[in-house]
A and B are shown apart, each in its own frame.
Chain A
């Protein structure tokens, strides 16, 4: 190689490097993932294993790196976490900054967008959402109740049978990707009583976010007195909407329901029910749910 060619070669690499040098090595600190990992390490009992769930392919691995040698178990998502029977109790959600968070909070933070489309119906000033669920089943099943309220009113939502209460001021519209968790801060199933000082329009749907399926929930404005007939389903749901124990007869069996209780049981359909509100449900192969509402009008 002649000196001229060598100089040309040298110039080419020097020029290419100098052109990019001003933008090189921009990072002066290790970032929030490092500092938060150190904070979490200090805050947790020595040697306690942490579950790490990340919002992408990188942050969990970086957290894992910075918090070593503390034992960890990495999960790609909440489904994997649920599948692991030996999962650590303490969960770290690793995003740009790692945080120790409860399962439900991570679940809520990861919930993007609605699955169902609202189909409003007049709901008056007092109605019941007979099934309100927020729980995760065998992956990918992840159930929430999506809800929409339209109108201008002060509304009180009560989660039954737990009795948790949430008061809302609705100025035009309100919507919930997860009615139960967003309003009551719990992952559980029950039914919701809604009372308002002005009439509302409402729409609710049971959603399986894992399979992106949604099934409308029929609102209950008045519990019928006469017997209900449930035509089909796999599961019979019985709801005691009163503050007193209810003696119900379902498919020929005598049942006592505690106040505000909701119970489910396998049943032979068609099934006649007296003394409680009832509906049927059937899980579909695609992960969705089909409800059978009582024929009582």
Chain B
């Protein structure tokens, strides 16, 4: 419980402003990014966290002192769908109960992610003896460290390396994702996502695990919602003038990020994506391209943040040895020779997406709504979803693993990361042109 409280307080404070769910996710993003970039520069991770929290508190204080007309705090959501919210919260309660009473049981969470969090808490560094391979075996040693850094910070504050300390952080991340969908897209779609078995039931990658796929889903969703809400987008989302209060429901107007630099907020999400999982670098690039297409030069602050995160990741990776795991980027040249794998890869993705025991009718509905959206000329969310999907189709095509093994072990988790574009597509299909 101490870890839950620490995560709640620290990351909400670090998130500075906005509704709780976005503060929390932004807190994870800013704190993790700052600790990583600072860590690459040799600054102890907890020093960076302290700086982030102090600056965030200062920033929040400054915003609070401004006249109300100037800062664009989103309004509280209208209590329009209390039933949807109640339905949404039921599985969340189950997940919190399971996270706080049952031990962490997933493989990747323990072996890859939380081991790194423990090491960061123990060494207060991201390139210490652990990551140099001097103390123990660290599988997937070059995985990005945003969530392990945040977990390590919670463990450090709790003075306890037990994984029970960070279960609450992951459960809160899932809750925040749902609340973002509820506020910025549709409360009923938030309820749908909350009940998807892949999130609720599945041990490997679900909301009770310590995988990084739900944080990826949350950051990608926030980035996409920022892109479409600031522009009006092609998804059917309503164009929202700056400063218009946010509302829930279809066609909502989301918050506008960092005041005069709304796309700086986007940059925070892109940096977080880059530093959360390896595929996040490419997802962030896809989202940046989409943002550039819609916002032109206004993306410069976001692009700068993304560039700093990407550069830090590249520099850090040159300092730590690769222990195992496949480097998919170096295998990309074999893509033209592996075109025969395209159909099996697509078939594998479809087989999992349309498995109703894991997804209900969610991806079936998304597939139908993509057709509707494209017929309406709403291309942005389908294009982004398609681009992100094509990243892992490409990975399946170039992998040295047996393709079915990789698909079976990863595709459901990768589909979780596409929740943001998926719910936007579902939401958009509800609207008339």
Residues of A at the B interface (CB closer than 8 Å) are 1-2, 5-6, 8-10, 12-17, 19-21, 24-25, 27-30, 34, 58, 61-62, 64-65, 68-69, 71-74
Q: Contacts of A27 on B, CB cut-off 8 Å? A: 102-103, 105
* B362 & A9 in contact (Cβ 8 Å cutoff): yes
Q: Which of B91, B137, B200 makes the CB contact (< 8 A) with A64?
A: B137
Q: How far is the CA of A19 from the CA of B200 in the complex (A)?
A: 12
Q: Contacts of A9 on B, CB cut-off 8 Å? A: 192, 360-362, 365, 426
- B118 CB within 8 Å of chain A: yes
* B191 & A10 in contact (Cβ 8 Å cutoff): yes
* A13 & B196 in contact (Cβ 8 Å cutoff): yes
A-B contact pairs, 25 of them (CB 8 A): A1-B430, A6-B188, A6-B189, A8-B361, A10-B87, A12-B362, A13-B192, A14-B87, A16-B356, A16-B358, A16-B359, A17-B91, A17-B201, A21-B200, A24-B201, A25-B203, A27-B103, A27-B105, A29-B103, A30-B103, A68-B118, A68-B122, A68-B136, A73-B137, A74-B137
* B137 & A72 in contact (Cβ 8 Å cutoff): yes
Q: Contacts of B429 on A, CB cut-off 8 Å? A: 1
Q: Contacts of A68 on B, CB cut-off 8 Å? A: 115, 118-119, 122, 136, 161
* B161 & A17 in contact (Cβ 8 Å cutoff): no
- A8-B361, A25-B98, A62-B110 known; A69+B430 contact, CB < 8 A: no
Q: How far is the CA of A8 from the CA of B368 in the complex (A)?
A: 14
B310 to chain A, nearest CB (A): 29
Further 18 A-B residue pairs, CB within 8 A, beyond A5-B365, A24-B98, A69-B161: A2-B430, A9-B192, A9-B360, A10-B87, A10-B192, A14-B87, A15-B360, A16-B360, A17-B201, A20-B197, A25-B102, A25-B208, A61-B111, A64-B111, A68-B115, A68-B136, A72-B137, A73-B137
* B356 & A69 in contact (Cβ 8 Å cutoff): no
Q: How far is the CA of A274 from the CA of B427 in the complex (A)?
A: 97
Nearest neighbor of A62 in chain B, beta-carbon distance: B110
A57 to chain B, nearest CB (A): 10
* A71 & B200 in contact (Cβ 8 Å cutoff): no
* B137 & A1 in contact (Cβ 8 Å cutoff): no
Nearest neighbor of A18 in chain B, beta-carbon distance: B195
Nearest neighbor of B194 in chain A, beta-carbon distance: A13
A62 to chain B, nearest CB (A): 7
Number of B interface residues at 8 Å Cβ cutoff, please give it. Answer: 45
**Which 3 A-B residue pairings sit nearest by Cβ, starting from the closest?**
A13-B360, A12-B360, A12-B361
B69 to chain A, nearest CB (A): 36
Q: How far is the CA of A29 from the CA of B196 in the complex (A)?
A: 26
* B111 & A62 in contact (Cβ 8 Å cutoff): yes
A139 to chain B, nearest CB (A): 19
- B114 CB within 8 Å of chain A: yes
Q: How far is the CA of A69 from the CA of B156 in the complex (A)?
A: 14
* B365 & A20 in contact (Cβ 8 Å cutoff): no
B176 to chain A, nearest CB (A): 20
Most buried by A among B135, B139, B161: B135
Q: Contacts of B135 on A, CB cut-off 8 Å? A: 69, 71-72
- B357 CB within 8 Å of chain A: yes
A16 to chain B, nearest CB (A): 5
A77 to chain B, nearest CB (A): 14
* A10 & B188 in contact (Cβ 8 Å cutoff): yes
- B107 CB within 8 Å of chain A: yes
* A58 & B107 in contact (Cβ 8 Å cutoff): yes
Nearest neighbor of B355 in chain A, beta-carbon distance: A16
Q: How far is the CA of A38 from the CA of B280 in the complex (A)?
A: 36
Bitwise interface map of B from 69 to 111 toward A, beta carbon under 8 Å scored 1, else 0 = 0000000000000000001000100100010001111010011
Q: Contacts of B356 on A, CB cut-off 8 Å? A: 12, 16
Q: Which of B118, B357, B369 makes the CB contact (< 8 A) with A20?
A: B357
* B118 & A28 in contact (Cβ 8 Å cutoff): no
- A8-B361, A9-B365, A20-B197 known; A1+B427 contact, CB < 8 A: yes
Q: Contacts of A73 on B, CB cut-off 8 Å? A: 136-137
Give residues 129-176 of B contacting A (CB, 8 Å): 135-137, 139, 161
Q: Contacts of B115 on A, CB cut-off 8 Å? A: 64-65, 68
B415 to chain A, nearest CB (A): 14
B82 to chain A, nearest CB (A): 15
Q: Contacts of A28 on B, CB cut-off 8 Å? A: 102-103
Q: How far is the CA of A72 from the CA of B91 in the complex (A)?
A: 39
Q: How far is the CA of A12 from the CA of B429 in the complex (A)?
A: 19
Nearest neighbor of A69 in chain B, beta-carbon distance: B122
Q: Contacts of B161 on A, CB cut-off 8 Å? A: 68-69
Q: How far is the CA of A58 from the CA of B110 in the complex (A)?
A: 11
Q: Contacts of B197 on A, CB cut-off 8 Å? A: 13, 16-17, 20
A127 to chain B, nearest CB (A): 49
Nearest neighbor of A10 in chain B, beta-carbon distance: B192
B104 to chain A, nearest CB (A): 8
A64 to chain B, nearest CB (A): 6
Q: Contacts of B192 on A, CB cut-off 8 Å? A: 6, 9-10, 13
Nearest neighbor of A60 in chain B, beta-carbon distance: B137
Q: How far is the CA of A277 from the CA of B345 in the complex (A)?
A: 67
